[in-house]
A and B are shown apart, each in its own frame.
Chain A
Amino acid sequence: MDLTTLLDETAPTISAPSDTTLRRARAALDTQVRVSQLHVATARRSRRRRTGLVALVSVAAAGALVVAPTVGLGGHAPQDSAQAAAVLVAAGAAAAGQPDTVDAPFWHVDLEFAYAGKEPLRTQLWIDHDGIARVQNEELQAEPRAVPGDDGVYTSSFAGSSLDDGRTTDWAGIAALPTDPAALEALLRARIGQDRGPTPDVELWSVVTGLLSGAPATPALRAALWEVAAAVPGVELVGTTTDHAGRTGTAVELDQTGIGWYRERLILDPADGRLLEQVAFDASGAVDHWSTYLEQGPAQSAPDIDPPLCGPGSGVSC
């Protein structure tokens, strides 16, 4: 047989990928683009220190620009761990009264992220039940667009918190987490294992704060997460302080500067268990960056997604 004929006859006939396949792939790609754009913006502005990358990576893991690990907001000397635990357990009890996620089509997170000495970057996320987030980002909107048809509202894949191997955690996955604090801690520690993060305790802290800062967690899960946070060795009470939005809250800290990370501070509202702010201090005690959670909760609507840049639905052929 002629080789050309054989190859022609055996050339695979492949069906086109489904719209769902393309949508999921595009969502994952958009997440990577968001992170890459932040790296570009960071490089352009000569933002200091490579350690800031830790924040960007954590942010990406939480779905887009959200989670920077936290550390103290300067000023107060940390007090003992028992007091910190008591504050966090109380926050957990208060969090049980937060609005439930049931029946809401979206989980909305409105935050500002800033490096010390820089203007805050406002970002909003609307995360649907499939774990797909619509993202609005002031910085990205302000960037000159390399391609037409984009007003700054994107779809991207919300990666939940990197509970185990970085797989996307959708609402169902988060809802499946136990709400008993001991069972939740055991599960999270089992998923984290011994090899992730600088230490298992620091990684547990990172996962818990990630879920508290950007995940569509039910009030019961949120309450359990605060209790798990209270059990992390080394967490200390700072006391009453004010976040960058001017709200008064109670601050706790976990000092990770001994392993080259930050001293992370969480500011929470003891009245309702809301996470108000995360602040990261460097080893010298200076504020490095922070995330202020202006609003977080269920939402009934979200901005429309941009049409595709080209192809079906865009009016522009590729």
Chain B
Amino acid sequence: MSTDEPPDDELLARLRLHPDAIGLLFERHARAVHRFLARRTGPQAADDLLAEVFVAATTARERVHAHPSGSALPWLYGIARNVVRAHLRRRAPTPGWPPDDHMDWAAVDDRLDALGRRDELRRALAALTPDERDVLLLVAWDGLTPAEAGSVLGISGDAARSRLARARRRAQAALDSAPRKDISWT
């Protein structure tokens, strides 16, 4: 971002009366939002959902609250999360993975198989509640700070940090326990 371009929080403040400010946020963050979507739904669905996120952001602009970090990404990720949930609720759950309306695990299964890490990841995530999984992956896979993840999830930064610490403890304990042959949430 060049120095003469308005920062995210200034653009967010302008949005209510100047909806075209979303255009600069799109140019700035569309790729990150696409990655967020692709991690949860696969690249093809992400292509289709990208516009939905920014269109929804435009219509929701009167309710925007900038994160203290100044970044618009936590707000955009929160909207993307809702778009993903609406998308995944139209699909059948993926066998062998936890019921989850924030992640299309079938879309990531092949990659995990190739890495030989699917069972380990399943074991670690199976020990967590859906809320704990969310905060763990927002930080580990999306690069958010715990406070930013809290903004996405609609909880305070302190609550997010606490939830993240608990998630990490429980997931690590699951990894440290004796491996089981079959992990199932069904």
Contact of B175 among A1, A16, A29, A37 (CB under 8 A): A1
Cβ of B89 under 8 Å from chain A: no
Cβ of A130 under 8 Å from chain B: no
Question: Which of B11, B55, B115, B121 has the largest number of chain A CB atoms within 10 A?
Answer: B55
B24-32, B144-152, B153-161: which one contacts chain A?
B24-32
Interface flags for A223-256 (1: CB within 8 Å of B; 0: not) read 0000000000000000000000000000000000
Docked-complex contact B1 and A12, CB < 8 angstroms = no
Cβ of A102 under 8 Å from chain B: no
Q: How far is the CB of B143 from chain A (nearest CB, A)?
A: 9
Residues on the A chain within 8 Å of B115, using CB: 9-10
Docked-complex contact B175 and A3, CB < 8 angstroms = yes
Residues on the B chain within 8 Å of A37, using CB: 19-20
Interface flags for B15-51 (1: CB within 8 Å of A; 0: not) read 0011111111011101100110011000100110011
Cβ of A21 under 8 Å from chain B: yes
Docked-complex contact A6 and B55, CB < 8 angstroms = no
Cβ of A150 under 8 Å from chain B: yes
Contact of B19 among A25, A28, A36 (CB under 8 A): A36
Residue of A nearest to B141 (CB): A11
How far is it, in angstroms, between the C-alpha of A3 and the C-alpha of B61 when the chains are bound?
A: 37
How far is it, in angstroms, between the C-alpha of A30 and the C-alpha of B31 when the chains are bound?
A: 17
Cβ of B58 under 8 Å from chain A: yes
How far is it, in angstroms, between the C-alpha of A26 and the C-alpha of B18 when the chains are bound?
A: 17
Interface size on B, residues (CB 8 A): 49
Docked-complex contact B31 and A25, CB < 8 angstroms = no
With A3-B168, A309-B24 given, is the CB distance from A318 to B1 under 8 Å? Answer: yes
Question: Which of B19, B31, B39, B136 has the largest number of chain A CB atoms within 10 A?
Answer: B19
Interface range on chain A (Cβ under 8 Å from partner): 35 or more
Contact of B28 among A2, A32, A310 (CB under 8 A): A310
Cβ of A33 under 8 Å from chain B: yes
How far is it, in angstroms, between the C-alpha of A308 and the C-alpha of B30 when the chains are bound?
A: 13
Docked-complex contact A12 and B120, CB < 8 angstroms = no
Q: How far is the CB of B15 from chain A (nearest CB, A)?
A: 9
Cβ of B182 under 8 Å from chain A: no
Residues on the B chain within 8 Å of A3, using CB: 124, 168, 171-172, 175
Interface flags for B148-186 (1: CB within 8 Å of A; 0: not) read 000000000000000000001001100100000000000
Contacting B at CB under 8 A, from A1-60, are: 1-4, 6-12, 14-18, 21-22, 24-26, 28-30, 32-33, 36-37, 40
Cβ of A260 under 8 Å from chain B: no
Cβ of A311 under 8 Å from chain B: yes
Docked-complex contact A147 and B141, CB < 8 angstroms = no
Docked-complex contact A14 and B35, CB < 8 angstroms = yes
Q: How far is the CB of A72 from chain B (nearest CB, A)?
A: 33
Docked-complex contact B141 and A26, CB < 8 angstroms = no
With A10-B121, A12-B108 given, is the CB distance from A29 to B22 under 8 Å? Answer: yes
Cβ of A176 under 8 Å from chain B: no
How far is it, in angstroms, between the C-alpha of A218 and the C-alpha of B69 when the chains are bound?
A: 54
Contact of B39 among A12, A18, A29, A310 (CB under 8 A): A12
Residue of B nearest to A7 (CB): B140
Q: How far is the CB of B62 from chain A (nearest CB, A)?
A: 10
Cβ of A77 under 8 Å from chain B: no
Cβ of A146 under 8 Å from chain B: yes
Cβ of A284 under 8 Å from chain B: no
Cβ of B111 under 8 Å from chain A: yes
Q: How far is the CB of A313 from chain B (nearest CB, A)?
A: 10
Cβ of B14 under 8 Å from chain A: yes
Please name the 4 residue pairs, one residue from A and one from B, whose CB atoms are nearest each other, closest first: A146-B18, A36-B19, A28-B51, A25-B51
Given contacts A11-B140, A32-B55, A40-B19, 7 further A-B contacts (CB under 8 A): A10-B121, A12-B38, A12-B111, A18-B47, A32-B54, A33-B19, A316-B5
30 contacts across the A-B interface (CB closer than 8 A):
A2-B172, A3-B172, A4-B140, A7-B140, A10-B115, A10-B121, A11-B140, A12-B141, A14-B34, A14-B35, A15-B43, A16-B31, A21-B34, A22-B31, A22-B50, A24-B51, A25-B26, A25-B50, A29-B22, A29-B51, A32-B54, A32-B58, A33-B58, A146-B14, A146-B21, A147-B6, A309-B24, A316-B5, A317-B2, A318-B24
Q: Which residues of A contact B (CB under 8 A)?
A: 1-4, 6-12, 14-18, 21-22, 24-26, 28-30, 32-33, 36-37, 40, 145-147, 150, 308-311, 316-318
